[in-house]
Structure 1
Amino acid sequence: MEEKVQIPEQPKRRRWLLWAAILAGAALVIILASGVTYAIRVTRAAPPLDLARLSQLSQITTVVDREGRPLGLLMTDGSREPISSLAEVSPDLVHGVIAVEDKDFYHHPGVDIQAIFRALWQNIRGQQIVSGASTLTQQTVKLVFFPDQARTLTRKIQEALLAIELERKLSKDEILTTYLNWAYFGQVGTMNVYGAEQAAHTFFGVNAKDLNLAEAAMLAALPNNPSLFSPYSHFSAAKERQTLVLSRMLEQHYISEEQYRQALAFDIQKALRPVSQHSAAKYPYILDEVQDDAASLLVQRGLAPDVDKAKELLATGGFRIETTIDRDLQDRVNEAVSGQSYRPDIGYSVLLNGRPTPIKNAMEQVGAAVVNNSDGSILAVCGGRDYNLDQIDHARLPRQPGSTMKPIGVYGPAVDRGLIGSGSGVDDVPTSWPGYRPNNFDNRFHGMMTVREALVQSYNIPALQVFSRLGPGVGMEYLKKLGITTLTPDDAVISAGIGGLSRGLTVEEATNAFTVFPNQGSVHPVHLITKIVDRDGRTVYQHANQTTQVFSPAASYILTDMLRDVVRRGTGSAVGRRFPSMAIAGKTGTTDDDRDSWFIGFTPDVTIGVWVGYNYPFPLHPVPGVSPRDERPRAVQVFADILQRARGGPWLHTASFPSAPSGVVRVSVCNKSGELPTALCRAAGTVVSELFVKGTEPKTACDVHVRAAYTVMDGKKYRATTATPPDEIRWGIFIQRKAHPPGPAPTDAGLEVPSTPDPRGSEVLPLGGGDTPQPTPSQGQSPPGASSGNGNGQQEQNGGPPGHPPRTTPGAGNE
């Protein structure tokens, strides 16, 4: 019998390990070959190390208006003030930069291998980019040869290769000098600050070689993130970064403990030069807006990784930015804003982070915009009264809009949805919602009226009743379609109907939203830039006009007609009195205690929006020397002055608004019920002609007006009864409400049917309806010769109490 030979396990294992080693070696060869091939390809694609570029610092970016006329510069070469050697810079600045950016600068060949592996490990552990490994040499290469600042593996390899080559051609001091000339230190006012010398002048008003330790450490802190560490806008973050620089300098023995303590104790904030000393531009607010918008556009097109890098690119890249601004109109807007009699600067206290904080020398501020109705282009913009004193752009800072919300978020959408027309009836009586009991600006309730009258007099309760029917969420969706970008999910609440928003609206976006009315329901994105061209003449951005139909032409026509009445006889009547023959419509808005004043008005050609208030909201005090009776809402006055200066220019060339489209019908209604009038409505003088989208007009007769028999005893009206002597019975026309909510009686309560019967008892005489014949004497009517009327004299006949003129100035509460 033949025996089987057993193969030992150990030779099998060795054979497997051998094959595994062969395969691993082959894979490693392939990987190395691929890596070498990739490296060769990346190296060939890298730009040549042209040392001449080190002195080619930047090119001017110009900003022009719609006619090509200059508005300003985002940066100039002359302001960079390059240094020629490190001897021209404080040693503290040199040591600070090395300590915080690249402590081994004088010891590596251009790249720091240990730092690369350390950063790689940190990034892997964090599963994101949490640490960088660029040396000062690499950063210099990036600033000079790769201004687009892209962050890719290919770019990193190219930067490393060029850094090694640069180290072979320049000394360490020459490389550091180049870095200090090219480094970006952030934006101050309208200036983008490049280079250590210009940074020293801009921030501290000294030469770079004369910086003290604290100042040098602050400048060394900035290039890492100029926006975040700006000592003007983020002082706490800047101070924290400065402390880090000083700590690193102490650790690396550049300074002593005593120098460290003295530098920390130095009042660096006091040493900073005021921003006002850097702003020589004529249109600084415009330049700020242009820079912000252009930076966002460059990021969107992949020309910069973030806004900060895009601003750097704009400041040095030699672009030409064409804007929508009309310089002639802009000058007139500036004149109108500066020519006002403002309230003197005041001081007050506000709660900031839960603590009372004093506000000193608060200036009454203005934000304004003029938008071309036909395309949404901004023709002129005012960010504030004086850029040297306040750099906040009030045309772009969200503010509570008050009643300017009503046309675009309440009545416009409700008309568009077919819920109301201008003649629909509303009842201004005490009304509440869960946790919310609003009031009108005058703390009164005005009773039954049309939607038109509620908007003209800017009553809050009717607007909120309509908003409740519409649905707050629906109103917010309309605002989004109109281009409003400042809304939050928390804004879909009932109070939003009269401007109670989490953040508010900006002047520019709110103004553009109102262009929907003269534009027959369509709106265009509001924009400031039409074209960006790079230094080589290539167009990197071209505005493409878009149109969104938000309201129907019929709804827009109806709202325009209502808003014209606001100017003719309502809260904006000061504008109507000043321009009686001009086609103008608009809406006022105030917030609680007159903390914000708005007016947004439009002609057939342009829409002008104005906001007036304080940086930290506070009631607007009366202007000295002007009586409260004569004083207009501040925003209305600024609007009127802008419009006055714009008259006669090419911006206002259309005499009238578009005629009524086919979808609008005019119907006679009762101005109490909003329904078809009856004989009683006609007798009471409450018939008005109103507008509706075809198909939404009222179909039923008014049931609010009734005829009732009454008697007067001791000056009080009582319902007549069968026991009332016939010679005491009077017949009058009254209104009757379906409900009487608790709270103060509305001002038309005197028009209601008397609620108390004749105390002499017996059966109350029946009411007569709108077209019901007056009862004969045998039915309880007084004999011929008995008194007859409307039950309350002429004031009831007219549908409202005397002595109640249209409101022209806002009072307490939202208007």
Structure 2
Amino acid sequence: MDKHLLRRSRKSANTRVFKKVFTALYIFFAVLLICVTAGIGVGAGIVSAMVKDEQIRNKEDFQKDLDSLFQNSYAYFQTKDEQGQPLRIGAFRSGGDMRKLIQSKDDVSKYLVDAFISVEDRDFYEHNGIVPRSLLRASFQQLTNSEVTTGGSTITQQLVKNVILKDFDKDLERKAKEIVLAIRLDAMYEKDEILTYYMNSVFFGNGANKQRLHGVQAAAKGLFDVDAKDLNLAQSAYIAGMVQRPNDYNPFGGDKNLERGKKRMKLVLDKMLENKKITKKEYDEALTFDIKKSLAKPDKENNSYANYSYIMYALEEEAAEILMKQDGLDIDELSKQGKYRATLNNYIEKVLTRGYHVYSTINKPIYDAVNAAASKGLVFHSRTYRGVKEQEQLGAVVMDNRTGSVLAFVPTSNNKGKLNHALNAYRQPGSSIKPLIVYGPAMEEGVVSPSTLVLDEKYPKADGSGYYENAADKYYGPVSVTKALTYSFNIPAIKVFNKMGHEVGFDYLRKLNIPPHKNDGEAAAIGGQYRGYTVDKITAAFATFANEGKYNSPHLVDKITDASGKVVYEHKAEQKQVFSPQTSYQMIKILRTVVTQGTGVFIGSRIYGYDIAGKTGTTSDDKDSWFIGSTPNITIGAWGGYDHNFSMKHNDKFTKRAWVNIFKAAAEAAPQYFDKKARFQSPGGLRDNIACLDCDAIDDYLAEQKKKEEEEQKKKQQPPQPGQPGDQPIDLPPIQPGHQPGGRPKPTFPPPPPNQEKPRDDEDDGLFSTH
């Protein structure tokens, strides 16, 4: 091994050892200090000295925290009821409406109380909040790196950790706070009160209906469908045993979880027998009880997670991120530090259990209609990945152009699996990215205008790995920007991107909240992104053109209130002017031709009377298929593909058919958003005065074409030699004189790809598969 690496490895190991020793010694001496002072009471001076940043809490402060935990949180549609109130989607994952707090330990089975005391804190009724010997034992085990470690936290300490402390880092300061607050809490509350709060606060994982269970009443109903007071000995021991690792012991997590949970249950029963809380006969009977048979059965009625699970999970995360930002947390920085997911989960717990009311942007009629209609008439094919069959998936978003509000989304085509393909699946955009990274920015920067000519020709890749190609493996000579985008030619997009400068295009993506990956390069112009984007993000970016160049971030949360009805968050549209109204309208005009003449003609031939502008997108080998289309009021983005990158070539119109289904269903469900009279309006001041991008190359091309044409004419004029057949004319597109700005001749465009009467609606392609 390299000497430098060896030294660094030893240094790292020494650092870890030092931290463990320091932590253990710190806790050791902290416990000694607290033990000494506990005999005469913990005063404000001791608290301030040990945890200077922690406020001196009185009983009112404690009570506020203890009360706040136990209130259910609810989610609402944007849609109003007959009284003008938002329709409730349902309760968040905290036990739902069936949750009922226990008021005292008498509300639960005596077995459950004895089980908790036996396994978690046998000296609960004797200590003053902490057990010094337990803390010292745990510290010693950590200091000596013992193979067998035991927890040192009492029930009181666990209550402080679950409810009182707001910082979740496992550091020295937090542990010191926990110890001090446990002693103060014990001095202010009766033991039975502390035990009741504790049993109401403990988390037990997901129940039969997939709600997250907080508190023993929720656990009893969610796991065994009985009230907490009616739990038998085996059920009580199982619930008490789950506290240590609720997700691993949760019986609805599979047979392995259930087996782990039963082993833990036996440990609890052993402790109860050891502490003389049960008899040997009760112990034996409990061990033979069939826990699996007694588990609760799912009840999908009035269950928001059964009916609208994708909405509820999406609102959980977005509301949690909102609260994180209000607390001054930087999400990007947390991601870099690897702390984002853990922090998000802690804030999700807050959303679920603090009595919040989360008002969404989801329009119930649109959501129900598009999810019922999206997959109608679609053809599905099975593919196998690692022995598991899968079918084509669909992700779609219906968005309000003016606000960025997500009115509805389609998370999946088969309603199976946990992945939300509309909001959480990152897929490469293919050619759908061209307006956002190339042509919109290039027009805004004055690099091109709609009629600017670009030479579509054989063009090498920057990395020297070959040449870029169009979908039909043809090159079309000088084509206008409008033509290039209408038929989604690749080479003109690459050339414009290079001419404009990659960073210019990337800067526009950043403004549109779809930033490039650090590994993205030239191929990003035609959809070769390293990571890709979610459907909601790319839909919001497209909606910018339909909103006169003003960008709105996509969102599902419109407002959050606390349990008392006080507004703690309200979305305020902060529109960002990314493109000028002139650039946006010129892009809309081109994207109209995509739908009426180009790669999106399938859409235009099936949606009548609406002013629609849109763009298709297909990645290499047809692994991803996109269509994003806008009316003046609404933008709908749709993606189709397999989760594991199988080709969609056999089902090339899957996404377009789904888009048509979604559009028609949404228009029927909420006609106020779909006005056939609405038209994109020109802002005036439009410019189209840039003749060509690569003028010299076009001149050379035209000269060569003219020379070939003249040679062909000469051949035709020469009579054939006796005994020889006449020469056949070469099939080249004719060049006719014409004028473009700057006086350059305008070529006639070659016909669409062969064997088609009009342009294919699936002509576009990106060249790079999803990573």
- For the residue of structure 2 that corresponds to 1:380, the secondary structure is strand
1:559 CA displacement: 1.6
- For the residue of structure 2 that corresponds to 1:73, the secondary structure is strand
Distance (whole Å) between structure 2 residues aligned to residue 383 and residue 323 of structure 1: 16
Pairing 1:422-571 to 2, within 5 Å after superposition: 422-423=450-451, 424-429=453-458, 431-434=460-463, 436-437=465-466, 440=469, 442-448=471-477, 449-484=479-514, 487-490=516-519, 492-571=520-599
Is residue 322 from structure 1 mapped to residue 374 from structure 2 by the alignment? no
Structure 1 residues 798, 404: CA separation in 2 closer, same or farther (over 3 Å shift)? closer
Task: State the AA in 1 paired with 2:688.
Answer: V
Is residue 170 from structure 1 mapped to residue 198 from structure 2 by the alignment? no
- For the residue of structure 2 that corresponds to 1:409, the secondary structure is helix
Distance (whole Å) between structure 2 residues aligned to residue 599 and residue 534 of structure 1: 39
Correspondent of 1:611 among 639, 657, 670? 639
> Residues 458 and 468 of structure 2 are in contact (CA less than 8 Å); yes or no, is this contact kept in structure 1?
no
> 1:293 matched to which residue of 2?
318
Is residue 599 from structure 1 mapped to residue 599 from structure 2 by the alignment? no
Task: State the AA in 2 paired with 1:452.
Answer: T
Distance (whole Å) between structure 2 residues aligned to residue 463 and residue 810 of structure 1: 15
> 1:740 matched to which residue of 2?
none
Moved more, 507-516 or 465-474: 465-474
- For the residue of structure 2 that corresponds to 1:570, the secondary structure is coil
Task: State the AA in 2 paired with 1:599.
Answer: F
> Residues 140 and 182 of structure 1 are in contact (CA less than 8 Å); yes or no, is this contact kept in structure 2?
yes
> 1:783 matched to which residue of 2?
none
Distance (whole Å) between structure 2 residues aligned to residue 468 and residue 303 of structure 1: 39
1:242 CA displacement: 6.2
Distance (whole Å) between structure 1 residues aligned to residue 459 and residue 259 of structure 2: 54
Distance (whole Å) between structure 1 residues aligned to residue 448 and residue 547 of structure 2: 21
> Residues 707 and 769 of structure 1 are in contact (CA less than 8 Å); yes or no, is this contact kept in structure 2?
no
Is residue 35 from structure 1 mapped to residue 46 from structure 2 by the alignment? yes
1:601 CA displacement: 0.7
Q: For each residue in 1:709-766, what CA deviation from the matched residue of structure 2 results, as whole angstroms up to 9, or x when unmatched?
A: 6466xxxx877999999xx9x9xxx9xxxxxxxxxxxxx983499xxxxxxxxxxxxx
Distance (whole Å) between structure 2 residues aligned to residue 551 and residue 229 of structure 1: 54
> Residues 617 and 766 of structure 2 are in contact (CA less than 8 Å); yes or no, is this contact kept in structure 1?
no
Pairing 1:579-590 to 2, within 5 Å after superposition: 579-590=607-618
Task: State the AA in 1 paired with 2:155.
Answer: L
Q: For each residue in 1:398-431, what CA deviation from the matched residue of structure 2 results, as whole angstroms up to 9, or x when unmatched?
A: 1222221111122222222222222231314353
Distance (whole Å) between structure 1 residues aligned to residue 49 and residue 129 of structure 2: 21
Q: For each residue in 1:105-151, what CA deviation from the matched residue of structure 2 results, as whole angstroms up to 9, or x when unmatched?
A: 5664322334556788999999xxx999642223335656x486778
- For the residue of structure 2 that corresponds to 1:563, the secondary structure is helix
> Residues 509 and 526 of structure 1 are in contact (CA less than 8 Å); yes or no, is this contact kept in structure 2?
yes
> 2:706 matched to which residue of 1?
706
> Residues 370 and 662 of structure 2 are in contact (CA less than 8 Å); yes or no, is this contact kept in structure 1?
no
1:706 CA displacement: 2.7
User: How high is the TM-score relative to the length of structure 2?
Assistant: 0.71
Pairing 1:337-352 to 2, within 5 Å after superposition: 337=374, 340-344=376-380, 346-349=382-385
> Residues 320 and 535 of structure 1 are in contact (CA less than 8 Å); yes or no, is this contact kept in structure 2?
yes
> 2:421 matched to which residue of 1?
394
> Residues 605 and 654 of structure 1 are in contact (CA less than 8 Å); yes or no, is this contact kept in structure 2?
no
1:299 CA displacement: 2.3
1:215 CA displacement: 11
Distance (whole Å) between structure 1 residues aligned to residue 465 and residue 239 of structure 2: 50
Larger Rg: 1
Is residue 750 from structure 1 mapped to residue 732 from structure 2 by the alignment? yes
Structure 1 residues 192, 375: CA separation in 2 closer, same or farther (over 3 Å shift)? same
1:381 CA displacement: 2.3
- For the residue of structure 2 that corresponds to 1:612, the secondary structure is strand
Q: For each residue in 1:206-248, what CA deviation from the matched residue of structure 2 results, as whole angstroms up to 9, or x when unmatched?
A: 887779989966984566686x998889999x79996995898
Moved more, 461-470 or 529-538: 461-470
1:587 CA displacement: 0.7
Distance (whole Å) between structure 2 residues aligned to residue 590 and residue 231 of structure 1: 43
1:60 CA displacement: 4.3
Task: State the AA in 1 paired with 2:513.
Answer: G
Distance (whole Å) between structure 1 residues aligned to residue 110 and residue 621 of structure 2: 54
> Residues 128 and 183 of structure 2 are in contact (CA less than 8 Å); yes or no, is this contact kept in structure 1?
no
Task: State the AA in 1 paired with 2:455.
Answer: V
Is residue 657 from structure 1 mapped to residue 668 from structure 2 by the alignment? no
- Unaligned runs of 5+ residues in structure 2 are 1-36, 275-279, 330-341, 740-744
Task: State the AA in 2 paired with 1:458.
Answer: S
> Residues 105 and 113 of structure 2 are in contact (CA less than 8 Å); yes or no, is this contact kept in structure 1?
no
> Residues 554 and 660 of structure 1 are in contact (CA less than 8 Å); yes or no, is this contact kept in structure 2?
yes
1:515 CA displacement: 1.4
1:656 CA displacement: 1.4
Structure 1 residues 458, 231: CA separation in 2 closer, same or farther (over 3 Å shift)? farther
Distance (whole Å) between structure 1 residues aligned to residue 499 and residue 536 of structure 2: 29
> Residues 134 and 152 of structure 2 are in contact (CA less than 8 Å); yes or no, is this contact kept in structure 1?
yes
> 2:664 matched to which residue of 1?
641
> Residues 42 and 158 of structure 1 are in contact (CA less than 8 Å); yes or no, is this contact kept in structure 2?
no
> Residues 540 and 554 of structure 2 are in contact (CA less than 8 Å); yes or no, is this contact kept in structure 1?
yes
> 1:358 matched to which residue of 2?
387
Moved more, 528-537 or 456-465: 456-465
Is residue 191 from structure 1 mapped to residue 211 from structure 2 by the alignment? yes
User: How high is the TM-score relative to the length of structure 1?
Assistant: 0.67
Task: State the AA in 2 paired with 1:427.
Answer: D
> Residues 574 and 632 of structure 1 are in contact (CA less than 8 Å); yes or no, is this contact kept in structure 2?
no
Q: Using the aligned pairs only, state the percent identity.
A: 28
Task: State the AA in 2 paired with 1:455.
Answer: L
> 1:137 matched to which residue of 2?
156
- For the residue of structure 2 that corresponds to 1:517, the secondary structure is helix
Distance (whole Å) between structure 1 residues aligned to residue 589 and residue 343 of structure 2: 46
> 2:91 matched to which residue of 1?
74
1:524 CA displacement: 1.8
Is residue 283 from structure 1 mapped to residue 308 from structure 2 by the alignment? yes
1:511 CA displacement: 0.5
Moved more, 510-519 or 396-405: 396-405
More helix by share: 2
1:199 CA displacement: 3.2
> Residues 430 and 445 of structure 1 are in contact (CA less than 8 Å); yes or no, is this contact kept in structure 2?
no
1:294 CA displacement: 0.9
Distance (whole Å) between structure 1 residues aligned to residue 130 and residue 105 of structure 2: 23
Structure 1 residues 52, 372: CA separation in 2 closer, same or farther (over 3 Å shift)? closer
Structure 1 residues 415, 240: CA separation in 2 closer, same or farther (over 3 Å shift)? farther
1:602 CA displacement: 0.6
Distance (whole Å) between structure 1 residues aligned to residue 738 and residue 75 of structure 2: 72
1:459 CA displacement: 2.6
1:610 CA displacement: 1.2
1:508 CA displacement: 0.8
> Residues 77 and 89 of structure 2 are in contact (CA less than 8 Å); yes or no, is this contact kept in structure 1?
yes
> Residues 609 and 639 of structure 1 are in contact (CA less than 8 Å); yes or no, is this contact kept in structure 2?
no
Structure 1 residues 134, 444: CA separation in 2 closer, same or farther (over 3 Å shift)? same
Is residue 302 from structure 1 mapped to residue 302 from structure 2 by the alignment? no
Correspondent of 1:182 among 174, 198, 201? 201
Structure 1 residues 404, 49: CA separation in 2 closer, same or farther (over 3 Å shift)? closer
Structure 1 residues 478, 239: CA separation in 2 closer, same or farther (over 3 Å shift)? farther
- For the residue of structure 2 that corresponds to 1:159, the secondary structure is helix
Is residue 65 from structure 1 mapped to residue 55 from structure 2 by the alignment? no
1:165 CA displacement: 3.0
- For the residue of structure 1 that corresponds to 2:463, the secondary structure is coil
Structure 1 residues 33, 484: CA separation in 2 closer, same or farther (over 3 Å shift)? closer
Task: State the AA in 1 paired with 2:76.
Answer: V
Task: State the AA in 2 paired with 1:137.
Answer: T
1:54 CA displacement: 7.7
Distance (whole Å) between structure 2 residues aligned to residue 93 and residue 235 of structure 1: 27
Distance (whole Å) between structure 2 residues aligned to residue 56 and residue 523 of structure 1: 38
Distance (whole Å) between structure 1 residues aligned to residue 682 and residue 143 of structure 2: 67
> Residues 612 and 634 of structure 1 are in contact (CA less than 8 Å); yes or no, is this contact kept in structure 2?
no
